[in-house]
Amino acid sequence: MTHLLEMKDIYIEGESDEKWLPIINGINLTLDKGEVLGLIGESGAGKSTLGLASMNYTRQGCRIASGSIIFDGTELVGASTETLRKIMGVRIAYVAQSAAASFNPAHRLVKQYAEAPTQHGIMSFQKAEKEAIDIYRRLLLPDPEHIGYRYPHQVSGGQLQRAMVAMAMACQPDIIVFDEPTTALDVTTQIEVLAAIKKITQEFNTAAIYITHDLAVVAQLADRIMVLRYGDLVEENNARKMLSNPKEEYTRQLLSVRTLTENKDLSVSEKDVILKVEGVTASYTGKEIVLEDIDLKIRRGRTVALVGESGSGKSTLARVITGLLPPLKGKTVYDGEMLPPALKNRKRDSLRVMQMIYQMPDTALNPRQRVSKIIGRPLQFYYGMRGKAAEDRVLELLDKIELSEKYKDRYPTELSGGEKQRICIARALAAKPDLIICDEVTSALDQLVAEEILKLLRDLQNELKVSYLFITHDLATVKAISDEIVVMLRGRIVEQGRKTDILTPPHHEYTELLLDSVPEMDPNWLDGVLAERARKIAQGIEVKTTFIEE
């Protein structure tokens, strides 16, 4: 039997410092009509590169060194640009990770939808316009008749991602390459997009290559899964077989659910409270309220997880606490003493007790400073340490974050993402703070690396009795690390309490939606959730699938 797509012995190289280094090492990939293939791996595994190579396309600075790509009987390696151009968008379409970046901001959605079919001479603009409405409707986009006439910035992230799936469907291609299409979305939005992708690929019997780092997501869609690592194939199997019986250790690690929980004494006592936020209302413009009437307590040696979707005000609250954004109303009390609202009025010691770790370690570290200088700066600033004393302390801190002392002379660019985040942690610890605010610190990291960072943070807490305010949208992280949970929605707290209380029913309806939306490894999970919703609607129970106004 011939396959729809057959990639044989693919070697892809990337240029770095005028040398060609291997990215993909001799991978074979086949795809049959209507089949969904999941490509799994961490960043740098070569998933996107391999996916794009299905249409013999490589990004700037990459090349397909050898191999053969046969699509529907045509050899694409060595084919003319014109042959390839006639396949792209028509027979093989692409859905990118960030719809916000991948839609042209200057044109309306339907114009971009209709571009491939009209430019390839498949149909007239009028016909494409009509078909767009049908596809938008199938993808459950609101107001399908008119949404196409909006500009990309006028629709929400989840809608835009579905509009991009629609755009990929415009020529009814044989294959769609989905490149992490839900990674940038909130969980409640992700579930909508996943459902839309599943629905439309089934209805049109479209084959798909689904690229992701999230096994639980691919479990819902894929018939077959390939696990990649450093450009090599680790394991390939039928999806269900792989999930129930992974053969390789690496796959098992990816599959393992994070379990960092330990039983702590969580009895509440008022004297442990180190930071109190009382009645805080804040706004950036003075008009639109971003935070409303927030009350929060953080106790010594505990972790408070601040959960919510993008735009819920989590990071704004961190800015208020640190004094970056003075609130309109309310106050921040540290250790029984009210802190001045604005950063510039705070004393050096009240700056010291609170430190921050950011989402992007790349941008949080000065690329022109060595690690010793980055960590040494707070030592000098808060403690006036210099010379030998500071040097010893830097080594001590490096030891705490489990990096050897040779790291002290490196520049941030010489470090991996996980190592950079460790340096950020060391910099925060250098001030000997009571509270560390962690703003999405694991979001930009690979799953296994993220887990190690969480472990490190937990160990440091046990050793140093530091408190964390852990801002995240990822419920798995919350389950793994928190002692108390605060759920935020549109600038307000909808529910807060001890982790065990929040995670056991009955929940607030928003918390329930958040918890229900986290994909599980069970391949039947998505179908189950959708069936449950359909059942409720049939019974006349209102089902809210979002609490964010779109």
Angstrom distance (rounded) from CA 506 to CA 503:
9
Rg of the chain's alpha carbons, rounded to an integer? 25
Which residues lie below 8 Å from residue 406, measured CB to CB, with a gap of 6+?
A: none
Residue from 101, 266, 531, 534 touching other proteins (CB under 8 A): that is 101
Range in contact with other proteins (rule: CB under 8 A) among 95-103, 244-252, 311-319, 506-514: 95-103
Pairing label, strands 62-71, 74-75: antiparallel
How many residues belong to the chain?
A: 550
Angstrom distance (rounded) from CA 493 to CA 403:
38
Of residues 36 and 95, the one with the C-beta less far from other proteins: 95
Range in contact with other proteins (rule: CB under 8 A) among 90-98, 190-198, 499-507, 539-547: 90-98
Cβ atoms within 10 Å of 385's Cβ, excluding its own: 18
Range in contact with other proteins (rule: CB under 8 A) among 112-120, 461-469, 488-496, 526-534: 112-120
What's the min distance (Å) between Cβ of 184 and other proteins?
12
Of residues 52 and 305, the one with the C-beta less far from other proteins: 52
5 binds other proteins (CB under 8 A): no
Of residues 88 and 464, the one with the C-beta less far from other proteins: 88
- The conformation of residue 365, written as its DSSP 8-state character, comes to S
Near other proteins in 118-137, by CB under 8 A: 119-120
Which residues lie below 8 Å from residue 168, measured CB to CB, with a gap of 6+?
A: 93, 94, 95, 176
Of residues 89 and 323, the one with the C-beta less far from other proteins: 89
What's the min distance (Å) between Cβ of 55 and other proteins?
7
Of residues 87 and 453, the one with the C-beta less far from other proteins: 87
Residue from 74, 104, 253, 380 touching other proteins (CB under 8 A): that is 104
Cβ atoms within 10 Å of 535's Cβ, excluding its own: 11
What's the min distance (Å) between Cβ of 166 and other proteins?
13
Residue from 103, 210, 407, 468 touching other proteins (CB under 8 A): that is 103
Angstrom distance (rounded) from CA 516 to CA 191:
10
102 binds other proteins (CB under 8 A): yes
Pairing label, strands 337-338, 329-334: antiparallel
What's the min distance (Å) between Cβ of 95 and other proteins?
9
Per-residue binding letters, 138-177, with other proteins (x by CB under 8 A): ------------xx-xx------------x----------
From the list 41, 156, 172, the residue with the least C-alpha distance to 117 is 172
Near other proteins in 8-67, by CB under 8 A: 52, 55, 57, 59-60
Specify whether the CB–CB gap between 473 and 187 falls below 8 A: yes
From the list 233, 185, 173, 216, the residue with the least C-alpha distance to 50 is 233
Specify whether the CB–CB gap between 96 and 182 falls below 8 A: no
Range in contact with other proteins (rule: CB under 8 A) among 14-22, 80-88, 330-338, 535-543: 80-88
Rounded to 10°, the helix 187-203/525-538 angle is: 90
80 binds other proteins (CB under 8 A): no
Specify whether the CB–CB gap between 512 and 545 falls below 8 A: no
Angstrom distance (rounded) from CA 192 to CA 141:
10
Of residues 55 and 218, the one with the C-beta less far from other proteins: 55
What's the min distance (Å) between Cβ of 150 and other proteins?
8
Which residues lie below 8 Å from residue 479, measured CB to CB, with a gap of 6+?
A: 258, 261, 499, 503
116 binds other proteins (CB under 8 A): yes
Distances (CA, A) of 484 to 30, 255, 373, 393, 420: 47, 26, 35, 32, 27
Of residues 49 and 372, the one with the C-beta less far from other proteins: 49
Strand order in the sheet with 36-40: 92-95, 175-179, 207-212, 36-40, 224-229, 232-238
Largest CA distance in the chain: 76
What's the min distance (Å) between Cβ of 156 and other proteins?
10
Range in contact with other proteins (rule: CB under 8 A) among 42-50, 115-123, 225-233, 438-446: 115-123
Residue from 4, 10, 29, 87 touching other proteins (CB under 8 A): that is 87
What's the min distance (Å) between Cβ of 108 and other proteins?
9
252 binds other proteins (CB under 8 A): no
Range in contact with other proteins (rule: CB under 8 A) among 103-111, 257-265, 418-426, 461-469: 103-111
What's the min distance (Å) between Cβ of 83 and other proteins?
11
In order, the DSSP letters of 420-479 are: HHHHHHHHHHHT--SEEEEESTTTTS-HHHHHHHHHHHHHHHHHH--EEEEEES-HHHHH
Near other proteins in 452-511, by CB under 8 A: none
What's the min distance (Å) between Cβ of 19 and other proteins?
20
Q: 82, exposed or middle or buried, with CB in 10 Å at 0-12, 13-18, 19+?
A: exposed
Residue from 41, 67, 89, 412 touching other proteins (CB under 8 A): that is 89
What's the min distance (Å) between Cβ of 46 and other proteins?
17
Of residues 1 and 106, the one with the C-beta less far from other proteins: 106
Distances (CA, A) of 503 to 246, 487, 490, 494: 29, 11, 21, 14
Of residues 61 and 78, the one with the C-beta less far from other proteins: 61
Tokens matching residue 381: 């600033």
Residue from 5, 76, 96, 219 touching other proteins (CB under 8 A): that is 96
Residue from 32, 72, 115, 396 touching other proteins (CB under 8 A): that is 115
Residue from 94, 178, 358, 470 touching other proteins (CB under 8 A): that is 94
109 binds other proteins (CB under 8 A): no
Residues forming contacts to other proteins in the complex (CB under 8 A) are: 52, 55, 57, 59-60, 85-90, 93-94, 96, 98, 101-107, 115-116, 119-120, 150-151, 153-154, 167
